Amino acid sequence: MSLKGKHAVITGGGSGVGAAMAAAFAAQGAKVTVLGRRLEPLQEVAAPLGGFAASSDVTNRASVEAALDAARDVNGPVQVAVANAGAAPSKPFAKMSSADFSAALGVNLEGVFNLWQSALADMQGQGWGRMIAVASTAGLKGYPYVAGYCAAKHGVVGLTRALAQELAKSGITVNAICPGFIETPLLEASVRTITAKTGMSREDAVKRLSAGNPQGRLIQPQEVADTALWLASDAAGSVNGSALPLSGGEI
């Protein structure tokens, strides 16, 4: 699954799944760019890999385009665009404000649109490209108290399927990865919320989150990274418009 010389851009690249992806892509010879809001953790990820780090807010189109321009100066045209940035704040639907809902759509859906559209011309110019989104099982089913997140991730799956059809003959594939609960800093925040609101132990909170997985475990960042690596490779050239669940059989 060599990606030697390919320029891969990964949003949300400063920790968790994004950092695992950056390492996996670099190990296969890709030129890696990691984007995120905080520059310091991005640099900590990129430096050992010989990669490039740039601060960017995925909800701001101009910010994304500026970061990609800087990345092109270092690594050339973008060939792989991995939309990994996301956030999943929890709140009952009745207590959500329109600002809460818009924020969920902004980072989880509009962020995908901004990255993919900003990288599209590069891929079309080369007749080859890979657009990959880290969606969620929340893009395939519903979960309580994260209505905005579920709506956004369903939107990501719909965007993936529509764009895959539109670009099918261009040499560009478009796919989404839909993991269940992943053992990352984002999940740790959810665990803290559960323990604070319910008084249960951390161990019980983790069991509660992993209960929906028939394998009874959390998904590991490396599993998501390996799936993205496969989707970016020529081995997955005919995989297009897919929403691949990584859920131990939950979906």
7-182+219-246 CATH pick, 3.40.50.10210, 1.10.10.10, 3.40.50.720, 2.40.50.140: 3.40.50.720
Note the pLDDT of residue 89. 87
Judged against a pLDDT cut of 90, whether residue 59 lies above it is answered with yes
Q: What percent of the chain has pLDDT over 90?
A: 88
- Would you list the domain boundaries of the chain? 7-182+219-246, 183-217
pLDDT digits (tens, 9 = 90+) for 9-49: 999 999 999 999 999 999 999 999 999 999 999 999 999 99
Q: Which residues are registered as beta bridge partners of 11?
A: 35
Note the pLDDT of residue 222. 97
Task: Please report, for residues 59, 78, 192, the alpha-carbon distance to residue 91 in angstroms, rounded to integers and kept in the order given.
Answer: 21, 37, 14
CA atoms within 13 A on the CB side of 226: 6
In the residue annotation, 149 being an active-site residue is answered as yes
Q: How far apart are CA 23 and CA 38, in angstroms?
A: 18
Judged against a pLDDT cut of 80, whether residue 7 lies above it is answered with yes
Q: How far apart are CA 31 and CA 75, in angstroms?
A: 6
pLDDT digits (tens, 9 = 90+) for 106-149: 999 999 999 999 999 999 999 999 999 999 999 999 999 999 99
Pairing of strands 243-246, 172-179: parallel
Q: pLDDT band for 233, please (50, 70, 90 cuts).
A: very high
Judged against a pLDDT cut of 80, whether residue 1 lies above it is answered with no
CA atoms within 13 A on the CB side of 245: 13
Give the mean pLDDT of the chain.
Answer: 96
DSSP character string of the chain: ---TT-EEEEESTTSHHHHHHHHHHHHTT-EEEEEES-HHHHHHHHGGGT-EEEE--TT-HHHHHHHHHHHHHHH-S--EEEE---------GGG--HHHHHHHHIIIIIHHHHHHHHHHHHHHHHT-EEEEEE--GGGTS--TT-HHHHHHHHHHHHHHHHHHHHTTTTTEEEEEEEESSBSSHHHHHHHHHHHHHH---HHHHHHHHHTTSTT-SPBPHHHHHHHHHHHHSGGGTT--S-EEEESTT--
Pairing of strands 31-36, 7-11: parallel
* Dihedral sign computed on CA atoms, order 71, 73, 74, 75: positive
Q: Are 10 and 16 in contact (CB under 8 A)?
A: no
Selecting among 25, 52, 113, 149, the annotated active-site residue is: 149
Note the pLDDT of residue 174. 98
CA–centroid distance for 201 within its chain: 29
Average pLDDT of the residues in 145-166: 97
Least confident range of 81-90, 160-169, 201-210: 201-210
